[in-house]
Homo-oligomer: A and B are copies of this chain.
Amino acid sequence: MKIQLINPNTSVAMTASLAEAAQPLLRPGNQLLAVTNGSGPASIEGHYDEALSVPGLLQAIREGERDGAEGHVIACFGDPGLLAAREIARFPVIGIAEAAMHLATWVATGFSIVTTLGRTKVIARHLVERYGFHQHCRGIHAVEIPVLALDQDPDGLRRIMRTACLDALARDESGAIVLGCAGMSHLATELQEELGVPVIDGVSAALKMVEMLGELRLSTSKRGDLDFPLPKPYAGFLRGFAVGG
């Protein structure tokens, strides 16, 4: 089974590090197809960036399908374009925020989200409501480090994250940490050991969910609102996005 890991921002470096962290998690026989969004923002730190990451992401999904992918992971904590992706994809699509939050409720009665910039907290907040976890998510916290700066000072980041997580666990009386950015994936294992609580990285969670759906032969329902898009003309620089017809 080939699984496509899509980095919705255009940072090739981040894609590489995501792939490096994800590769060892795949089950024997499964294959990782890590791709970087070809068009859009270098990082996603607001609604504008997020909206503009979607066309490239949808294109990537169609290409991935063409390249034999049988499942897709959207590796940005805002789960950009998730439902749109489910409409066009034949195979399962999982977002990392969704994956991390769902998983968190299986290992704790309450979780805290630790993300990058405060301005992105509203995105997590809206997802918590959409997914139905307002009783489980006890707090959303920001370390105020831009996405692309996450890898600039690894030690500093570790220190800051450790402090932020400890503070979140105490203030929220929560039992698990959800990492609020794909760029934090590589910190999960170490933080988990240090903090002694589950630290959940949505990227690995989503990969496993896609593998799981594949093994269960389950995919997006094509009955009703997630059916393939209706055929129709598309215009302008997006004319190539027309489907079917």
Residue positions of A touching B, CB distance < 8 A: 10, 25, 27-28, 37-43, 45-52, 54-56, 58, 81, 83-84, 86-88, 92, 94, 98, 102-103, 105-110, 118-123, 125-126, 129-136, 146, 148, 169, 173-176, 189, 192, 196-198, 200, 204-205, 208-209, 211-213, 215-227, 229-230, 232-239, 241-243
Contacts and interface: CB of A to CB of B under 8 A. Distances in A.
A56 B52 CA distance: 10
A110 to B, nearest CB: 7
B110 A122 contact: yes
Contact of A235 (B38, B47, B134, B225): B38
A51 B85 CA distance: 10
Contacts of A47: 81, 83-84, 86-87, 225-226
A50 to B, nearest CB: 7
Instruction: Return the 3 tightest CB-CB contacts between A and B, nearest first.
Output: A39-B236, A132-B132, A175-B221
A120 B225 contact: yes
B106 A209 contact: yes
A218 B129 contact: no
Contact of A238 (B40, B98, B109, B227): B40
A39 B235 contact: yes
